[in-house]
Chains A and B, each alone.
Chain A
Amino acid sequence: SQTIHQWPATLVQPVGSPLSLECTVEGTSNPNLYWYRQAAGRGLQLLFYSVGIGQISSEVPQNLSASRPQDRQFILSSKKLLLSDSGFYLCAWSHIGTATYEQYFGPGTRLTVT
């Protein structure tokens, strides 16, 4: 069976500090990978998605970036955090072999920028 991991689970960082969130998927190969953000009381905002190693598409221009150094690894980064970067970050994957492409989500990372 497939499993998706995210770490850390919670993070408190000062404004201007760097960020690195990691997501890994087990039990599948060549998944589509996604980063979402949930601000408090709001819905899901798609940040980045990737269809393969080194292939990143950005949905929202911001001070965040994403990388996919390995097939099942997806990293979200920032050089300098802003207060507005606070939120709940979710990684998700979908299988390219299905017609429905339903997404499966990780447990999330709660980021608080102070």
Chain B
Amino acid sequence: AQSVTQLGSHVSVSEGALVLLRCNYSSSVPPYLFWYVQYPNQGLQLLLKYTSAATLVKGINGFEAEFKKSETSFHLTKPSAHMSDAAEYFCAVRASGGSYIPTFGRGTSLIVHP
């Protein structure tokens, strides 16, 4: 079985500040991990994915995430927030060798203040 917990349904930052969105996962086998972004009234867009090739994964729009097995975490970061980063962010996990259907977290809404 696999599960995802996104800590904080809302995260508020100032423009130019560090963005940190937290994701913890549970998986009985090595996982594949994903971050998606959803802008208002749009579909989800893949930001980045972890496939075990490297623990630090770089994605689009300046985002990156680090896989930490000991902490079962896959937190999403961006050094400097931009107003255009305001959106809903979803973390997802899929167990390697398991079902091809991922489990999604409930999402974190990122609010960026000018």
Binding site for B on A (CB under 8 A): 6, 32, 34, 42-44, 46, 49, 88, 90, 92, 94, 96, 99-108, 110
The number of inter-chain residue pairs (CB within 8 angstroms) is 52
Minimum distance in angstroms from B38 CB to a CB of chain A: 8
Cα distance A103–B49 when bound, in Å?
11
Asked if B43 is at the interface of the complex by the 8 Å CB criterion, the answer is yes
Given contacts A49-B101, A94-B100, A110-B41, contact A102 B46 (CB under 8 A): yes
| Given A96-B100, A103-B46: 9 more A-B contacts, CB < 8 Å | A44-B90, A44-B104, A88-B41, A92-B44, A100-B49, A102-B32, A103-B44, A108-B41, A108-B43
B residues near A, CB below 8 A? 32, 34, 36, 41-46, 49, 51, 90, 94, 96, 100-102, 104-107
The 5 closest A-B pairs by CB, nearest first: A105-B43, A101-B100, A43-B106, A105-B44, A100-B32
Pick from B34, B45, B51, B105: contact of A99, CB under 8 Å: B51
Q: Please, which residues of chain A bring their CB within 8 A of the CB of B51?
A: 99-100
Contacts of B46 in A (CB 8 A): 102-104
Q: Which of A43, A90, A103 contacts B102 (CB 8 A)?
A: A103
Question: What are 14 sample pairs from A and B whose C-beta atoms fall under 8 A apart?
Answer: A32-B100, A43-B90, A44-B44, A44-B104, A49-B101, A92-B44, A101-B100, A103-B44, A103-B102, A104-B46, A105-B45, A108-B41, A108-B43, A110-B41
- Residue of B46, B94, B100, B101 ringed by the most chain A CB atoms within 10 A: B100
Known contacts A43-B106, A104-B46; A99 and B96 CB within 8 A of each other: yes
A102 and B49 within 8 A (CB): yes
From residue B73, how far is it (CB to closest CB) to chain A in Å?
19
**Bound state CA distance, A104 and B49, in angstroms?**
12
Distance, CA A108 to CA B105, complexed state (A)? 19
CA distance A76 to B25 in the complex (A): 31
Determine if B105 and A43 form an interchain contact, defined as CB atoms under 8 angstroms apart: yes
Name the one of B36, B94, B105 contacting A100, with C-beta atoms under 8 angstroms.
B94
Assuming the contacts A49-B101, A100-B49, A100-B94, asked whether A43 and B42 have C-beta atoms less than 8 A apart, the reply is no
